Amino acid sequence: MLRELLIIMNVLLLGLIVGLWSARMTADMPALAGTVQAGAWRAWPRAGVADALPYAHLRHYLDDALPPSPGDRLELVAETDDDGRPLSGRCAYRLSGAMLPVRNWILAVHDPERREHPLAALQAADALYRPDGTLHILLDPHFQTGNWLQTPRRATYRLVLHLFGISPLQRDRILGAGLLRITRVDCS
Amino acid sequence: MSRFFQLAGLFLAAALVAHLAYVLLLPRMAANALLAELHQDLGGNVFHRLDGKWLRRIVRHPVPEAAYGVCVLQLKDHPVELTGPDLRSQWAVTVYSPRGDVVYAINDRLVPEGDVRIRFEYRALDSSMGEIALPKLKEKTLVLPLQQASALMLLEAWPWHPGQTPLVHRLMKRLRCHAVAATRPARSWPNAAAQKVPMPRPRPKRPAGVP
């Protein structure tokens, strides 16, 4: 009898562990978490919306943060370059392409480990555009002329692009319009 | 063999229950706990500029130069108004329900130009009866009906240019979140005059130096 009870308890415990583990894993699955990927950039356009899949909510609360506002803005995050290599302070990168037609934008460098204000940032009012309307932004730990964001030396970092003034209709399609490409220039 | 299937069924049932409980309950519990903690720490119906611990806790990627503020809305007894000067910047107000959903996401382009005046009102509606309450503009006040008696309001203001940052932070300090007397619509008695609810007593001022 006791042996029988122990077997049942073990099976239940194993089931609970597998259930919790699968929930944690599923929350990271892009399709269920509502992640949209465009090049190296990822976004969660339906985060916080009441009818979003529960995994989309879960993903944010696992990060111990409220879901970002689904209003007229979008937060895009890149942790790798376009070739999938993690962004590293040992390397310089070039961001190039046309900025999306939005009311305002801010590109910021964040430390992935610490939730503080960004290490460096560039916003629309300060950016220099090329004659054809495109942007070239250099990410480098050392001073550069033109659009330059200083990155931490010898550490990985995260890029966050805040877009303001996006209509809800535009929101889902905006990622298909093409975003800044992130290309590694060289490494020391 | 049937013993094996019994145990496998038990295993699957336990896994399913744990999976669903985690997915459905964790966000709700986390949001509820955050609201309760904020209420305990900062108080209800009081506007607080966010910095340090709470900013890190609430905003995943703070926008540089931006100013943030929160107000834990306690709407059961009276509506609450957010009032203050024109922030002369881009700003957004997000209202989170205790379940963690976003109930409203308002920005500066959706309200009349000038001073900030947003009123949050609790309306217990029966959605199964087709009752809905829509936001409306009353004079220069945006009235937002909520079906939740408590909620979290997050205000974010970010300047057009870094040079405007001190101005935006200064203007943000003048924002107030406060309970107001209600003029409740008499839903059950269509001809009854609006019922006045007495003003709540103002909260005691915090001593100088306490954020």
* Interface contact A66-B18, CB threshold 8 A: no
Domain that holds residue A58: 1-35+53-68
Per-residue DSSP letters for A100-139? Answer: PS-SEEEEEEE-SS--SS-SEEEEGGGPPBPTTSEEEEEE
Could you report the per-residue pLDDT of A69-92, keeping only the tens digit for each?
Answer: 777 788 889 999 999 999 998 999
Which residues on chain B are in Cβ contact (under 8 Å) with A64? 30, 57
Cα separation of B148 and A124, whole Å?
38
Q: Could you give the 3-state DSSP secondary structure of residue B201? A: coil
Cα separation of A24 and A63, whole Å?
11
Note whether A90 and A30 are same-domain residues: no
Contact A173, A77 (CB under 8 A): no
Cα separation of A182 and A163, whole Å?
17
Model confidence at B74: pLDDT above 60: yes
Helices (H) and strands (E) in chain A, counts: 4, 10
Note whether A87 and A60 are same-domain residues: no
Which residues on chain B are in Cβ contact (under 8 Å) with A107? none
Q: Which phi and psi (to 5°) does residue A160 adopt?
A: -125, 125
For domain B42-196, the CATH class is mainly beta
Residue A139, pLDDT score: 93
Tell me which of B177 and B196 has the higher pLDDT.
B177
Closest Cα in chain B to A8 = B7
Helices (H), chain A: 2-26, 30-33, 54-62, 168-174
* Interface contact A61-B12, CB threshold 8 A: no
Instruction: Please report whether residue A41 resides in a domain.
Output: no
Nearest CA-CA distance, residue A70 and chain B, Å? 7
Note whether A88 and A178 are same-domain residues: yes
Instruction: Please report whether residue A118 resides in a domain.
Output: yes
Average pLDDT over residues B35-46: 89
Closest Cα in chain B to A58 = B27
Note whether A5 and A62 are same-domain residues: yes
* Interface contact A66-B56, CB threshold 8 A: no
Note whether A94 and A109 are same-domain residues: yes
Instruction: Please report whether residue A40 resides in a domain.
Output: no
Cα separation of A77 and B55, whole Å?
19
Cα separation of B152 and B97, whole Å?
7
Closest of B17, B85, B1 to residue A23, by C-alpha: B17
Pairs across A and B, CB distance < 8 A: 159
The sign of the torsion formed by the CA atoms of B187, B188, B190, B193 equals negative
Note whether A64 and A75 are same-domain residues: no
Note whether A64 and A145 are same-domain residues: no
The sign of the torsion formed by the CA atoms of B204, B67, B61, B105 equals positive
Within a 13 Å sphere around the CA of B96, how many CA atoms are in the beta-carbon half? 31
* Interface contact B63-A116, CB threshold 8 A: no
Nearest CA-CA distance, residue B31 and chain A, Å? 8
What is the reported pTM?
0.80
Partner residues linked to B145 by β-bridges: B121
Q: Which of A168-177, B9-18, B24-33, B187-196 has the highest mean pLDDT?
A: B9-18
Q: Please name the amino acid found at residue B30.
A: A
- CATH number, domain containing residue A128: 2.60.120.600
What are the sequence ranges of the domains in chain B?
A: 42-196
Nearest CA-CA distance, residue A185 and chain B, Å? 26
Tokens of A158: 């995260």
Q: Could you give the 3-state DSSP secondary structure of residue A163? A: strand
Q: How many structural domains comprise chain A?
A: 2
Instruction: Please report whether residue A2 resides in a domain.
Output: yes
Model confidence at A61: pLDDT above 70: yes
Closest Cα in chain B to A33 = B23
Q: Is the ipTM of this complex over 0.90?
A: no
Note whether A108 and A176 are same-domain residues: yes
Strand extents, DSSP E, B45-192: 48-49, 67-74, 80-84, 90-96, 102-107, 116-122, 136-138, 141-146, 150-158, 176-179, 183-184
Query: Residue B188: which pLDDT band, with cuts at 50, 70 and 90?
Result: very low
